[in-house]
Amino acid sequence: MKNQKVRLNKYIASTGYCSRRKADELIAEGKVKVNGVVVNELGFLICNKDKVFIDNKLIKPQELTYIRYYKPAGYITTMDDEKDRKTIYDILPDEVKHLKPVGRLDKDSTGLLILTNDGDFINDFAHPSVKVPKVYRVCAQGKLNLNDLALMEKGIEIEKGQIAYAFAGIVDFEGKNTVLEMVLYQGLNRQIRKMLDILGHSVISLKRISMGPVDLTGLKKGQFKYIKPKQIQEIKNYLKKLN
């Protein structure tokens, strides 16, 4: 940052603590101090000599890191779990255990996760107002038909007052089961499983194969790869176009 001044919320986001939007909330709540003094002013400017504390803990900028990860089945995507279930952090290498997931996959699902310590990136990618297409390969019990696909596109109430939508196409039939490619623009909990259960077709397997321009190319289950700066800029440009 040298001697130039930057907005306090941007500085907080650069530490990976949270997004700028969340930083503004923390500032408004009086949880942020600069050089020991509580700051409530949104847009407050600081320089490199200033020390920033959140809940009395000193925070510092860190190198921003982004990875693609092929999640295997049997793990949830939270850092801590009250039920002591296995999480991806039990199997991720130490060098990337500080990164947070962009969205989630449930325990039984596999496929693409993006992880980063860039709070703004997480917020921009996962915010409900940004309709990033997420593509899934799903194997479901029984033979689905065009009417089933139309019902998913029209919308299915998976919880009281909660309508889920999906664009789906039939890829193949495997014996008595159906292989689907499904595209979601929402991020509702266990959305695909609930939709198919209501239609009478339980999910056998579910894999996320892409999130916007990011996919599983070159990855094996349990493996991760760093996303290069040029690719990150391309992703950010893509997200801007969706806003």
Three-state secondary structure of the chain: CCCCCEEHHHHHHHCCCCCHHHHHHHHHCCCEEECCEECCCCCCEECCCCCEEECCEEECCCCCCEEEEEECCCCECCCCCCCCCCEHHHCCCHHHCCCEECCCCCCCCEEEEEEECCHHHHHHHHCCCCCCCEEEEEEECCCCCHHHHHHHHHCEEEECCEEECCEEEEEEEECCEEEEEEEECCCCCCHHHHHHHHCCCCEEEEEEEEECCEECCCCCCCCEEECCHHHHHHHHHHHHHHC
Asked whether this chain's domains 66-129+213-242 and 134-211 adopt the same fold, the reply is yes
pLDDT at 242: 86
Please tell me the predicted confidence (pLDDT) of residue 100: 92
Give the model's pLDDT for residue 2: 52
Which of 71, 55, 60 lies closest to 16, judged by CA? 60
* Homologous superfamily in CATH for domain 6-59: RNA-binding S4 domain (3.10.290.10)
Ranges of the chain with pLDDT below 70: 1-3
Question: What pLDDT score was predicted for residue 211?
Answer: 96
Task: Assign domain 66-129+213-242 one CATH number from 3.30.465.10, 3.50.50.60, 3.40.190.10, 3.30.70.580.
Answer: 3.30.70.580
User: What pLDDT score does 1 carry?
Assistant: 45
Distances (CA, A) of 187 to 1, 55, 57, 124, 137: 36, 30, 32, 14, 16
CATH superfamily of 134-211: Alpha-L RNA-binding motif (3.30.70.1560)
Q: How much is the pLDDT for 114?
A: 97
Positions marked active-site: 106
pTM of the model: 0.83
Q: Would you list the domain boundaries of the chain?
A: 6-59, 66-129+213-242, 134-211
* Per-residue pLDDT, 157: 96
